[in-house]
Amino acid sequence: MKTNFLQRFWRGRSNYEKALFFVFLLSLPFLHAQVGGDGVGYYAYLRSPLVDHNFSFSSDFQNPNEELLKIFLVDHFVDNPITKTGHLPNFYSVGPAILWSPFLIPTHLAVFGLAHLGWHIAPDGHSWPYLAAMTASTALYGFAGLCLSFAVARRFVKEQWAFWATIGVWFGSSVPMYIYLLPAWSHAHSVFVDALFLWYWLRTRGTRTTRQWLKLGLLSGLMIDVYQLNVVFLVAVAFEVFSSYAEILAAGSSRQEGFANTLRLHAIFGGGGHTHSAIGTGGLQPLRGCCSQQIMGCLYLRPFSSWQLRDFFVCGSWTRLLERFA
């Protein structure tokens, strides 16, 4: 039955989609499994709780004083102090760890299982099964993002041009660097979540239900949790939001009811985004005592943090909405 499904799925793909798959297979030998540079910070959000059972990050950085306690900000180095809980700060985003977890958690359990069978593999998060799972999952996310980008592009141009545009982005930009050479960094994951967000936004635009607005909000939270600058893709939703209100204002007699329904849907979108950020980022505040989005917001998006920008675009979160009508 599974074989029949795979056969039907493969037969349903176009020649260009099949070509993308074969290009991906041919590129796999270039994968380089390593955790280095900024990747240490991203990977620490998964390795530290999985292996050390804490968020202290004490065994993730070889030289915390150089890697974490001094950060380059506004053309000079500034202190990045120990958190209120006494732990090392980690100003990298938590999104990549969320995406790695479906692959790394089973790997961790498998390592323990193999130990009972006589295999001697260190369950430290740095041995080859962990690096292989992390690298392979990053490659899969990057490839999935490219396929989604191809699907979005062919909505607007002929499939052959969408294919060559995808190949151009794949090998004519920095994408291969972060898929094959620096898999622990967040940018391949950004390719995936940004493409998924735009694909789902386009797919549901004009007929979006309440549940789909919530899903889109959750996707926006994941997108920003992966990398804060991904907030720029919410411009697409901002355009849709302002356009819908403009149509309501031009509608006349049904203005009040239409405004209330539209505001409710947009609030659901904002609530979904905040829920994901609260689980993925805000929920860790008591444990790590420092906010990656606040630091990166100051670094890249002054004077607003990424979630404040999202609130501005989608007319507020559930909290603000309830306060307004309480």
- pLDDT at residue 261, rounded to an integer: 58
CA atoms within 13 A on the CB side of 288: 27
Tokens 């074969």 belong to which residue? Answer: 22
d(CA 196, CA 190): 10
- pLDDT at residue 318, rounded to an integer: 32
d(CA 88, CA 280): 19
d(CA 38, CA 67): 9
- pLDDT at residue 238, rounded to an integer: 82
pLDDT in tens, the chain (326 residues): 566 888 888 888 999 999 999 999 999 999 999 998 889 889 999 999 999 888 888 788 776 666 665 555 555 555 656 667 777 778 789 999 999 999 999 999 999 999 888 888 999 999 999 999 999 999 999 999 999 999 999 999 999 999 999 999 999 999 999 999 999 999 999 999 999 999 999 999 888 888 888 888 889 889 999 998 998 998 888 888 777 767 766 666 455 555 555 555 556 666 555 555 555 554 443 333 333 333 333 333 333 333 333 333 333 333 333 334 33
**CA separation, residue 205 to residues 18, 201, 236, 238, 294 (Å):** 28, 6, 11, 13, 32
d(CA 309, CA 297): 10
Burial class from Cβ neighbours inside 10 Å (0-12, 13-18, 19+) for residue 19 reads middle
Query: Rounded to the nearest 5 degrees, what angle is found at the Cα of 192, between the Cα atoms of 191 and 197?
Result: 105
Query: Rounded to the nearest 5 degrees, what angle is found at the Cα of 99, between the Cα atoms of 190 and 97?
Result: 95
3-state helix/strand/coil string of 211-277: HHHHHHHHHHHHHHHHCHHHHHHHHHHHHHHHHHHHHHHCCCCCHHHHHHHHHHHHHHHHHHHHHHH
Q: Please give the span between the terminal C-alpha atoms of the chain, in angstroms, as a whole number.
A: 54
The phi, psi pair for 316, rounded to 5°, reads 95, 160
Token pair, residue 130, equals 């962990």
pTM of the model: 0.78
d(CA 275, CA 218): 7
- pLDDT at residue 51, rounded to an integer: 92
Q: Is residue 142 within 8 Å of residue 191, measured between CB atoms?
A: yes
Ranges of each domain in the chain:
31-186, 205-326
